[in-house]
């Protein structure tokens, strides 16, 4: 019978998350360190969730306020129980069981710092426990180097007789490569009763959960052991080095699953994808790509190189190159980058473009519209088929409030335009390059808002004599004393020439 065919028999899950984690050398509680898009505690809870336990208890202690606040966000149904004094794993389990209501079925006890633990492994453990009729079943792992780990001692029938710590093991026991993974499933009443008999007569003066196994064996009860198919599932995190190693293993697993499903990962060593990310087959992830949070990437989309997406949606056939995006939507066939920054609230329609060195925030860019380069677009709506010229700034903030800019369909905004919100540029309108637009531009109109140009003839020859510029001007036939003339904007009325060229030159 496969684990999927075995009815779930877990009535309660107990997660031990009260430890200080001093070797992390961090003010962050150990179980709140994050890898792969979740906290260590979040990964453990996610692995246990498919078991469908009626009750979940998380034992908290060190940093309990932060851990409890975290629980309200990721697992509001879980009950935090405080272990006031950290007197060992056995004491923590007893505190948890005291807080549980009557348990129907078995109780699963697991450490909160095992992020690689998978739901499949727990399901198989529970199935093995139910099939073998054991009072307690411990998860074990075969490892190449068991140094420092508790050895699993079995009898001739395969039943577990004891967990022997390395310091207490004889040479034959030290040669055993099957070790305790620290995950247990057992009869709740039997475990609860055995915990009342666990002593603290050891060097640490603590109550150990492993002693429950010995007590039950001494009572003549049958204890089983289930080997994890992948020993990595059982690995915990005690310091930053181990945390980094677990992060790499988890990422390798995620990328392996994606590639098996048809995702193109050009360089797995430099590509990082959270477990919470969804990438469709035939998407391409180039080197240096990081996909985090609730990001989704559709089929045919190309991300990277050197791009970070946090909680983003990338549509089919879209492209994001060397850019950072957060809480943004990149529509089908839209393009982003290189070197763009899409901030929260950015939505690009089909075929839209945000080009090089562009920053956007809270903006809707319509189908086929373009913001090609060197621009800031904030708090705006841009219609279909419009083009925003280089170095355009949507001036959305007056120092107190944010204001909105509306750009219609098929608008042409000239380069170096300042759009001072609130302002609307109507359908089919243009703005002249270098304009500061403070008033609405009607549909089909040209908005011109810039100072008139004045050319002061001969200024270089008089004010910068002997310079390379003056020599070049003289060689080109530039006169030294011609009257100053105005060169106006196309379509603007004629204006009088400047008369005080020296004064003009100082402006």
- Catalytically active residues are 373
What is the DSSP-derived secondary structure letter of residue 397? Answer: B
Neighbours of 450 (CB within 10 A): 17
Query: How many Cβ atoms are within 10 Å of 433's Cβ, its own excluded?
Result: 17
- C-alpha–C-alpha distance, residues 8 and 130, integer Å: 9
Closest CA to 336 of 351, 345, 391: 351
Residues 6 or more apart whose Cβ sits within 8 Å of residue 227: 140, 141, 142, 178
Cα separation, 390 vs 375, in Å, equals 6
Bond into 338 cis (ω within 30): yes
Residue length of the chain: 507
Question: 182 in helix, strand or coil?
Answer: strand
C-alpha R_g of the chain: 34
Which DSSP state fits 474?
Answer: H
**Max CA distance (Å), the chain:** 115
DSSP state of 92: H
Helix (H, G, I), strand (E, B) or coil at 490: coil
Q: What is the C-alpha to C-alpha distance for residues 21 and 209, in angstroms, rounded to an integer?
A: 18
> Token pair for residue 386?
């419009």
Residues 6+ apart with CB under 8 A from 261: 281
Cα 69 to Cα 87: distance, rounded to the nearest angstrom = 24
Residues with Cβ < 8 Å from 119, sequence gap 6 or more?
46, 47, 48, 49, 50, 51
Q: E-assigned strands of 123-198?
A: 136-142, 151-154, 160-164, 178-187
φ/ψ of residue 335, rounded to 5: -130, 145
**Per DSSP, what are the bridge partners of residue 294?**
none
The Cα 264–Cα 36 span in angstroms is 19
Q: For residues 77-93, b (16+ Cβ closer than 10 Å) or e, as one string?
A: ebbbbebeeebbbbbbb
Structure token pair of residue 206? 């603590």
């Amino acid at each position: 019978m496969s684990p999927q065919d075995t009815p779930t028999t877990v009535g309660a899950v107990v997660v031990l998350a009260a430890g200080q984690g001093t070797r992390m050398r961090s003010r962050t509680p150990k179980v709140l360190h994050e890898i792969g898009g979740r906290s260590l505690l979040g990964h453990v809870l996610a692995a246990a969730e498919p078991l469908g336990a009626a009750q979940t208890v998380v034992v908290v202690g060190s940093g309990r306020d932060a851990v409890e606040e975290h629980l309200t966000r990721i697992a509001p149904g879980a009950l935090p129980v405080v272990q006031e004094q950290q007197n060992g794993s056995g004491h923590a389990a007893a505190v948890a069981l005291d807080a549980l209501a009557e348990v129907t079925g078995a109780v699963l006890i697991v450490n909160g710092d095992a992020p690689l633990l998978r739901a499949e492994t727990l399901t198989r453990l529970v199935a093995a426990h139910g099939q073998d009729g054991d009072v307690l079943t411990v998860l074990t792992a075969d490892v190449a180097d068991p140094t420092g780990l508790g050895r699993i001692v079995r009898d001739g029938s395969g039943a577990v007789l004891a967990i022997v710590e390395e310091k207490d093991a004889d040479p034959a026991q030290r040669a055993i490569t099957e070790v305790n993974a620290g995950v247990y499933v057992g009869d709740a009443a039997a475990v609860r009763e055995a915990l009342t008999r666990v002593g603290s007569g050891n060097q640490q003066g603590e109550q150990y959960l492993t002693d429950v196994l010995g007590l039950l064996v001494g009572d003549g009860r049958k204890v089983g052991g289930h080997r994890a198919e992948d020993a990595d599932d059982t690995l915990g995190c005690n310091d930053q080095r181990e945390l980094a190693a677990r992060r790499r293993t988890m990422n390798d697993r995620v990328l392996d699953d994606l590639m098996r499903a048809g995702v193109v990962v050009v360089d797995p060593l430099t590509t990082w994808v959270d477990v919470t990310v969804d990438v469709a087959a035939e998407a391409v992830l180039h080197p240096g790509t990081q996909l985090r949070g609730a990001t989704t990437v559709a089929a045919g989309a190309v991300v990277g190189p050197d791009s970070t997406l946090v909680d983003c949606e990338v549509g089919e056939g879209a492209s994001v190159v060397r850019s950072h995006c957060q809480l943004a939507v990149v529509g089908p066939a839209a393009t982003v980058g290189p070197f763009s920054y899409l901030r929260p609230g950015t939505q690009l329609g089909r075929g839209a473009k945000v080009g090089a060195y562009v920053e956007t925030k809270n903006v809707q860019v319509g189908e086929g519209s373009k913001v090609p380069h060197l621009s800031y677009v904030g708090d705006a709506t841009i219609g279909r088929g419009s083009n925003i010229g280089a170095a355009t700034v949507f001036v959305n903030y007056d120092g107190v409030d944010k204001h909105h800019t509306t750009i219609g369909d098929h608008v042409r905004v000239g380069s170096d335009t300042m759009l001072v919100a609130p302002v609307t540029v109507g359908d089919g309108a243009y703005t002249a390059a270098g304009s500061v637009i403070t008033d609405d531009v009607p549909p089909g109109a040209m908005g011109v808002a810039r100072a008139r140009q004045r050319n002061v003839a001969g200024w270089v020859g008089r004010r910068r004599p002997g310079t390379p510029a003056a020599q070049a001007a003289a060689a080109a036939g530039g006169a030294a004393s011609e009257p100053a003339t105005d060169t106006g904007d196309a379509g603007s009325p004629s204006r009088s020439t400047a008369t005080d060229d020296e004064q003009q030159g100082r402006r």
